[in-house]
Amino acid sequence: MARRSRFLSGQKINPSPIRKNATVTDLVERYFQAYNAGRLSEACQLFAGKMLDRDVTIGMSLTGALTPAGLGGSCIVPLMEAGFVDWIVSTGANLYHDTHFSIGHSLHRGSPFLDDRVLRKEAVIRIYDILFDYKVLLDTDDFYRTILWAPEFQMTMSTSEFHYKLGKYFAGRERLLKKPYKSILGTAYRCAVPVYTSSPGDSSIGMNVAETALYGNRCQFDVLADVNETAAIVLEAKQKRGRSGVLVFGGGSPKNFVLQTEPQIQEVLKINEKGHDFFVQFTDARPDTGGLSGATPSEAVSWGKIDPDKLPDTIVAYIDSTVAMPVMTSFALAKRKPRKLKRLYDKRESMMNRLRRAADLAKQT
């Protein structure tokens, strides 16, 4: 009898009928079997099975209009509260649009096939199939401009400090409301999760900071501090005998900002390191166009962004983040107990001191 090929050792494809009351866990473990459903299943199981071990520090990047679709309160907040995400790099737009819900506005389901000329006349904003009143933008702008004149914002700061100070206002507002919306920044403040924006001028929050600057506001972003702080977070994880994982929704600048921490450590600061230990990405970007959004974990190895020995613990699923994020969040919350919060924002100074010491030592060798 011929010897069975080692390539046939994988789990058998199960064609049995799906149960009418199948849970998300059932779908992930039993029915997402091939193609990008298979990759989504693998990503969920890698995240819940390995990445959520206590010694792993997890950075999450967010691009695309995720919060207008409700994913801030439904997924990102529960992940932070459970200790499943330790630091975040987000577009400013996701933080801005999350604010609409915090200040009591509503966004509505609609159609992507409406006449945008008519919408413009009726002062309705469209994000693909999400619709909301133009006044929502104006009120949110006013909300930010009012806060920005507070004394604590009259200085230059990293975006993590900026968002932490904003989060204090959000958290205070949420405490006063009977049925509060738990915002990303309010939750990040309570959980001491540092939140960065890699391009802080490229959003309505940055636009409102720019508007106040015209009238003497002294709020400024120290983007170089962001580069060093994020590198310090990763180095802290690795040098304390821990591991580093990245969870990427979309691509773009936030993806690069999460990943460039390792080249900053190895290439620029000359500190001996090997790259992130885990990499999970959900994207619709192709790798063959040369863009960062579609760049694979294997390509990232060549840059030192991913530890070459950990390449098997990397997964890319070519699937919409609005599908992947709820599935992964539900699966992780079902499979793992909450982790103790790392409260990395509270440790910024000590982490930066470690980074400086390691960089100084590297220069001497």
| Residues with Cβ within 8 Å of residue 26, at least 6 apart in sequence | 19
- Owner of token pair 């983007």: 223
What is the pairing mode between strands 56-62 and 108-109? unpaired
* Cβ-contact 362, 242 below 8 angstroms: no
Write down the catalytic residue from 165, 238, 255, 305.
305
Q: For this structure, is 347 an active site residue?
A: no
Distance CA 261, CA 244 (A): 11
What separation in angstroms does the CA of 192 have from each of 54, 72, 319? 17, 17, 30
Residues involved in catalysis: 305
